C-alpha cells in the first residue's frame, strides 16, 4: 500500500456532524487538508458557514448544511445535498453531541431524552442515511463516531451521555460486522479532555478545575482538537483499511492512570510504583 498520508483522502467526500465548532470543525479542516471535500452539518448556520469559508480559503471545498441530527428527515435532506454537491459520499464523522453535568437523581425525562436523542439517535440517523447511499452506489466507505472513555468506565454526572455513548459503541461494533460485506468500516475515537472553546468554558473554566483535569492525565496536557481530527482522518483513510469495530482511545492515558499523581516514576523521591 503506497498511500501518502498528506493526500490520503484525495477526491473523497465526507459529512462531519457538529462540524461548526470544536473537534468537529478541526476535523473538517483536517479532512480538507488530506484532500477530501467536506459537508459540515449542524444546528447553527453561522459557525458552519465560517468553517466552510475557512476550508475554501485553504483551497478546499466544503458545504455548510444546517440540520438537527435528531430529525431524520432533515438529516436525509442534508446528506442528499452533500451527494448533489460532491457527486459521491465516502463516509461520515458522527461528532455532534449534547451534554451537561447533573446529578442523576435530578435529571428530568426531557434532559435524558435530549442527550440520548442527539448522541445515540442522531448518530444512527446520520449513519443510516450515509450508509444506505454508499450501499446503493456500491461504494465502500468509513464511518467514525466520536465517543468518550466514560462509555465503558462510566462517569458521575453524565449518566445520559455515558449511556448514549455506550450505545454508539454497540451500534459501531454491530454494523462493523453486518456491513463488512459492503466494504463499510465503522470505528470510534475516544478523545480525552480536548482544548476547545466549548470545553474550556463549560468544563474547566476555573484555573483550579483546569489543574484538576490536567492532573488526571498521565501525559499532563489536553489533546489538541487538530490532533483528534488527524486521528479521525487516519481512521477514515485506507491506511486503516483493516481496522473496523475498533475504539481508538486518545486520552493521554487518562482512563488508565487515575491513580497516578505527581512526577513520572523515577523522577520523584518515591519508589517505582509508589502511589504519591
- Catalytic site positions: 150
Residue 98: CB atoms within 10 A of its CB come to 19
Question: Cell 486520552 sits at which residue?
Answer: 251
Q: Rounded to the nearest whole angstrom, what is the least distance from the CB of residue 124 to ligand HXC in the complex? A: 16
φ/ψ region of 273 (left if φ > 0, alpha if ψ in -120 to 50, else beta) reads left
Q: Rounded to the nearest whole angstrom, what is the least distance from the CB of residue 85 to ligand HXC in the complex? A: 26
Q: Which is nearer to ligand HXC, 2 or 105 (CB)?
A: 105
Q: Rounded to the nearest whole angstrom, what is the least distance from the CB of residue 254 to ligand HXC in the complex? A: 8
Name the nearest CA neighbour of 14 among 86, 97, 119, 115: 86
Q: Which is nearer to ligand HXC, 198 or 264 (CB)?
A: 198
Name the nearest CA neighbour of 227 among 254, 257, 186, 193: 193
Q: Which is nearer to ligand HXC, 90 or 195 (CB)?
A: 195
Q: Rounded to the nearest whole angstrom, what is the least distance from the CB of residue 113 to ligand HXC in the complex? A: 7
Cα–Cα separations (whole angstroms), residue 265 to 214, 258, 262, 271: 17, 15, 8, 8
Cα–Cα separations (whole angstroms), residue 244 to 10, 17, 119, 177, 237: 21, 20, 20, 8, 12
Question: What residues make contact with ligand HXC under the rule CB under 6 A?
Answer: 97-100, 102, 108, 110-111, 114-115, 118, 148, 161, 193, 198
CA–CA separation, 97 and 252 (whole Å): 21
Cα–Cα separations (whole angstroms), residue 113 to 99, 118, 119, 268: 11, 8, 10, 48
Q: Which is nearer to ligand HXC, 114 or 214 (CB)?
A: 114
Q: Rounded to the nearest whole angstrom, what is the least distance from the CB of residue 79 to ligand HXC in the complex? A: 21
List the grid coordinates of 156. Answer: 458521575
CB 186 within 8 A of CB 178: no
Q: Which is nearer to ligand HXC, 159 or 236 (CB)?
A: 159
Q: Give the total residue count for the chain.
A: 276
Q: Rounded to the nearest whole angstrom, what is the least distance from the CB of residue 239 to ligand HXC in the complex? A: 26
Nearest residue to ligand HXC on Cβ basis = 98
Q: Which is nearer to ligand HXC, 48 or 97 (CB)?
A: 97
Amino acid at each position: 500500500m503506497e498511500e501518502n498520508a498528506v493526500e490520503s483522502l484525495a477526491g473523497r467526500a465526507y459529512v462531519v456532524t457538529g462540524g461548526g465548532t470544536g473537534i468537529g470543525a478541526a476535523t473538517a479542516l483536517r479532512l480538507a487538508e488530506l484532500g477530501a471535500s467536506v459537508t459540515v452539518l449542524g444546528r447553527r448556520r453561522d459557525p458552519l458557514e465560517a468553517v466552510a469559508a475557512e476550508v475554501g480559503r485553504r483551497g478546499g471545498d466544503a458545504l455548510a448544511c444546517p440540520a438537527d441530527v435528531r430529525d431524520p428527515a432533515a438529516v436525509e435532506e442534508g446528506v442528499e445535498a452533500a451527494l448533489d454537491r460532491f457527486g459521491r459520499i465516502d463516509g461520515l464523522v458522527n461528532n455532534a453531541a449534547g451534554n451537561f453535568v447533573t446529578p442523576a437523581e435530578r435529571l428530568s425525562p426531557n434532559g435524558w431524552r435530549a442527550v440520548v436523542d442527539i448522541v445515540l439517535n442522531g448518530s444512527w440517523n446520520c449513519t443510516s442515511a450515509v450508509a444506505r447511499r454508499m450501499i446503493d452506489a456500491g461504494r465502500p466507505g468509513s464511518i467514525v463516531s466520536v465517543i468518550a472513555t466514560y462509555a465503558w468506565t462510566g462517569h458521575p454526572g453524565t449518566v445520559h451521555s455515558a449511556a448514549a455513548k455506550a450505545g454508539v459503541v454497540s451500534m459501531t461494533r454491530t454494523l462493523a460486522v453486518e456491513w463488512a460485506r459492503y466494504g463499510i468500516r465503522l470505528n470510534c475515537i475516544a478523545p480525552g479532555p480536548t482544548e476547545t472553546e466549548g470545553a474550556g468554558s463549560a468544563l474547566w473554566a476555573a484555573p483550579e478545575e483546569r489543574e484538576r483535569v490536567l492532573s488526571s492525565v498521565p501525559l499532563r496536557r489536553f489533546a489538541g482538537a487538530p490532533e483528534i481530527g488527524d486521528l479521525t482522518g487516519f481512521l477514515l483513510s485506507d491506511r486503516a483499511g483493516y481496522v473496523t469495530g475498533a475504539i481508538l482511545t486518545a486520552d493521554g492515558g487518562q482512563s488508565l492512570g487515575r491513580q497516578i499523581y505527581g512526577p513520572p516514576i523515577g523522577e520523584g523521591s518515591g519508589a517505582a510504583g509508589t502511589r504519591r
